[in-house]
């Protein structure tokens, strides 16, 4: 009986061994494939509104037609304001229009200059600046590189003063001109963006009439600005 049981056990072990080897050779099931996660590409299309702060450099040249007298002033000042606009995105190109308004007040007075009417000094006081421009940009997902082309206006008061007679002539006028600019904007969230930009505004000349000897004075301006801004896109 014992021999029978031992023989049966041995036979069962021999029969089981090939099966185990065969099972080990079977290929394992491949893990389920994982779908790639699609990262959404930012879309710049839409209306936006925001605010900005920055710095402005105004260069003013005042030239009289008496004895070749002229004055050159550089008026630097802080500026702050707001902007609004709309973008249309086509592929990676972004077209838009933007308007802004900034307060940029500051007065600059020149040294005395000898003229045919005696020693005079010039004074320039800027109040505000506003622009409207088209934007052409190239988007790399959340980063937008853009240029600007348009026009602008600024309110400026210009005067000539005599140390003995006081103000001889003054002009408070809104000057218009052409605008070019460059900037880069970054989308921090789906709605909030931040930007930095540089603008150059070439302004029209102003004529000042001198009461002494019926002289005319020409005033030429240009304005450069660097601004940091933030926008909310709807």
Whether residue 88 contacts residue 95, with contact meaning beta carbons closer than 8 Å, is answered with yes
pLDDT tens for 11-66 read: 444 444 544 444 445 556 666 666 655 556 899 999 999 999 999 998 988 887 76
- Estimate to the nearest angstrom the gap between the alpha carbon of 142 and the chain centroid: 15
* DSSP annotation of 113: B
Q: What is the DSSP string of 168-229?
A: EEEEEEEEEEEEEEEEEEEESSSSEEEEEEEEEEEE--EEEEETTTTEEEEEEEEEEEEEEE
Question: What confidence tier does 185 reach under pLDDT thresholds 50, 70, 90?
Answer: very high
Candidate from 89-98, 112-121, 132-141 with smallest mean pLDDT: 112-121
Tell me how far apart the alpha carbons of residues 179 and 197 are, in angstroms, rounded to a whole number: 13
Domains and CATH numbers, the chain: 46-233 (2.40.160.20)
User: What sign does the CA torsion over 11, 17, 20, 25 have?
Assistant: negative
Per-residue pLDDT at 76? 85
Helix (H) or strand (E) holding 102: strand 93-109
Whether residue 42 contacts residue 142, with contact meaning beta carbons closer than 8 Å, is answered with yes
- What would the 3-class secondary structure string for 35-70 be? CCCCCCCCCCCEEEEEEEEEEEEEEEEEEECCCCCE
């Amino acid at each position: 009986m014992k021999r029978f049981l031992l023989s049966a056990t041995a036979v069962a072990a021999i029969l089981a061994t090939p099966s185990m080897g065969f099972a080990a050779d079977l290929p394992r099931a491949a893990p389920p494939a994982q779908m790639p996660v699609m990262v959404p590409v930012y879309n710049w299309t839409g209306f936006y509104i925001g605010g900005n702060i920055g710095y402005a450099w105004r260069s003013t040249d005042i030239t009289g037609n008496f004895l070749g007298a002229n004055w050159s002033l550089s008026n630097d000042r802080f500026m702050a304001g707001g902007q609004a606009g709309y973008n249309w995105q086509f592929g990676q190109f972004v077209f838009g229009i933007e308007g802004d308004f900034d307060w940029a007040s500051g007065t600059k007075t020149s040294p005395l200059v000898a003229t045919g009417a005696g020693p005079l000094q010039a004074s320039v006081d800027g109040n505000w600046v506003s622009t409207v421009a088209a934007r052409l940009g190239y988007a790399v997902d959340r980063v937008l590189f853009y240029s600007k082309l348009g026009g602008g206006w600024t309110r400026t008061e210009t005067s000539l003063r005599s140390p003995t007679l006081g103000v001889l002539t003054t002009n408070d006028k809104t000057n218009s001109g052409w605008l070019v600019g460059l900037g880069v904007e970054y989308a921090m969230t789906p709605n909030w963006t931040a930007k930095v930009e540089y603008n150059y505004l070439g302004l029209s000349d102003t004529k000042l009439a001198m009461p002494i000897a019926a002289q005319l004075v020409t005033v030429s301006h240009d304005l450069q600005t660097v601004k940091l801004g933030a926008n909310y896109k709807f």
